Amino acid sequence: MRRRRPFFIAIGLLVAALGAAFGVLLSLAKSEPPFYTAAVSERADWETHERAAKLLTRVQELQNDIRAKDEWGDTFTEDDLNCFFAQNMGPKDGLTDLLPKGFHSPRVSIVGDRLKLGVKYREGFWSTVVWLELRVWLVAEQVNVAAVEVCELRAGRLPFGTQTILDKIADLARESSIEVTWYRHKSNPVGLFKCFAKQPKATSQILTLEVKDGKIVIGGKSSLDAPPAAPTGVNPRPGSP
């Protein structure tokens, strides 16, 4: 009996260590990033509803302007976007179906040229926030091509595998007529997003795409007579394929 006692003690210590490690990992996975917690801070329901409705109207008007006007554009703030997400993409809201199954309640934060996007996965005890830190820019000398660099991808505070998420992003983009090609620049994935990919010829051209200081600015021109030329004077980032 005495010989068995060290064995049982060792097993008990191993179980305790595994339990502690699991607890630490669970705590790290469930830790919400500060930007996500700040973005869901409480505000009056009427304000959220009003700003969400206005954003939807503005997006529809921008789509119409792209089809009908020579020049078009708009500026969207992170607060506008978060109001829209809070109103329309919660666990039970209809537009949540636009996200991959199990994901809901997206939130964004834009600091400098970095855009952070967090999305909650599942509900209750096993829920976590999967979030990305991105950089976005127009690719010089290519028409309607935006580059998106994934600088960080985590579940809570734990590093998260990229391939499944990147595939989901590409699938969602293709549903909006955007072609996506992924490559790697150093250790980061970079996606090339070709907009208006289903147009027989490029009659719309994005001239401005800025993600900076709490805002997303987009602008361009459309022409029904001739395809636009490639943009010039756009600040390219290193790492183009």
Residue 71 placed within a domain: yes
Classify residue 132 as left (phi > 0), alpha (psi -120 to 50) or beta. Answer: beta
Number of domains composing the chain: 1
Instruction: Identify whether the C-beta of residue 91 lies closer than 8 Å to the C-beta of residue 23.
Output: no
> b/e per residue, 46-64, with b = 16+ CB within 10 A?
eebeebbeebeeeeeebee
**Cα dist from 91 to 105, 120, 121, whole Å:** 7, 9, 10
pTM: 0.76
Under DSSP, the state recorded for 230 is P
Residue 8 covered by a domain: no
pLDDT of residue 117: 93
For residue range 9-39, what is the model confidence (pLDDT) as tens digits? 555 555 555 444 444 444 445 568 888 888 7
Token pair belonging to 4: 């068995």
Q: What is the pLDDT of residues 218-229, one digit of tens each?
A: 999 998 665 555
Q: How far is it, in rounded angstroms, from Cα 78 to Cα 86?
A: 12
239 within some domain: no
Tokens of 95: 């537009």
pLDDT digits (tens, 9 = 90+) for 94-148: 888 888 888 899 999 999 999 999 898 888 777 888 889 999 999 988 889 999 9
Within a domain: 197 = yes
What is the rounded CA–CA span in Å between residue 155 and residue 78? Answer: 21
Domain assignment present for 241: no
Helices (H), the chain: 4-30, 34-39, 45-68, 78-88, 163-174
- Residue 82: inside a domain: yes
Q: What's the one-letter identity of residue 192?
A: L
Token representation of residue 79: 């607060």
Under the banding of pLDDT at 50, 70 and 90, the label for residue 201 is: confident
20, part of any domain: no
Residues spanned by the domain of 47: 29-222
What are the pLDDT digits (tens) for 43-71?
667 788 899 999 999 999 999 999 889 99
